[in-house]
């Protein structure tokens, strides 16, 4: 059975992409309250057994680390991935945010969009969802770095994940990164060409 490590997934109630249907999922989170399979700061992934996962899934978590620590997280992804493994990563698109702010002459406290969590302001995309940080009292919900598509590709390459497919839209960057040349299975599963 194929295995995916969901890094910083926060809750089993938050769905992961359907490509993982039928896979064994291990939830890794720093917060013991969410009852993850692995309680661990993602900067410490290299302390886990190497080459044990077919995929790493990381949605809206990498921005919660300072830039230099995000490099450690990504090195951990490479460490836990099997040789034919891949990582799927989603982060906020700070480049797109800045364009919207400039085009619409928005202030940092102006409304951007409505999310299931509540109204999202410009500052929430930059610094993390303020209401969640305040209510929880947990500073690990704060954003400590930001990415453009170019900077995300660069940090992935620096971590040794060399083969990268990326796209952006709706204030998000999506990347799929491989340790090695993608297998035919991965190409078909992920719809890559």
Q: Are 70 and 145 in contact (CB under 8 A)?
A: yes
DSSP letter string, 126-178: HH--HHHHHHH--GGGS----B-HHHHHHHHHHTT--EEEEEEETTEEEEEEE
List the end-to-end C-alpha distance of the chain, in Å, as a whole number: 25
The structure tokens 């891949």 sit at: 86
Residues (pLDDT < 50) of the chain are none
Q: Where are the domains of the chain?
A: 3-92+142-190
d(CA 146, CA 167): 16
pLDDT at 12: 87
Interacting residues of 63 by C-beta distance below 8 A, sequence separation 6+: 70, 91, 92, 128, 143, 144, 145, 146, 147
The structure tokens 């719809």 sit at: 191
pLDDT at 174: 97
pLDDT at 134: 93
Q: Maximum Cα–Cα distance for the chain, whole Å?
A: 51
* CATH number for the domain whose boundaries are 3-92+142-190: 3.40.50.150
pLDDT at 143: 97
**Residues paired with 6 in a beta bridge:** 27, 57
The token pair that represents 51 in the structure block: 């080459």
pLDDT at 11: 86
């Amino acid at each position: 059975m194929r295995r995916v490590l969901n890094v910083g997934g926060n809750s089993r109630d938050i769905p992961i992409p359907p490509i993982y249907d039928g896979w064994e999922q291990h939830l890794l989170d720093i917060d013991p309250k969410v009852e993850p399979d692995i309680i661990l700061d993602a900067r410490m992934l290299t302390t886990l057994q190497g080459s044990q996962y077919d995929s790493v899934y990381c949605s809206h978590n990498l921005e919660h680390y300072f830039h230099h620590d995000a490099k450690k997280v990504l090195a951990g992804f490479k460490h836990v991935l099997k040789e034919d493994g891949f990582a799927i990563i989603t982060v906020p698109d700070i480049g797109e945010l800045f364009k919207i702010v400039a085009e619409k002459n928005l202030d940092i406290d102006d409304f951007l969009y409505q999310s299931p969590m509540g109204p999202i302001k410009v500052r929430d995309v930059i610094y993390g969802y303020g209401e969640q940080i305040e209510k929880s009292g947990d500073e690990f919900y704060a954003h400590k770095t930001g990415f453009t598509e170019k900077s995300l590709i660069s940090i992935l390459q620096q971590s040794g994940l060399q083969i990268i497919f990326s796209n952006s839209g709706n204030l998000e960057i999506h990347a799929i990164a491989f340790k090695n040349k993608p297998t035919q299975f991965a190409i078909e599963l992920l719809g890559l060409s």
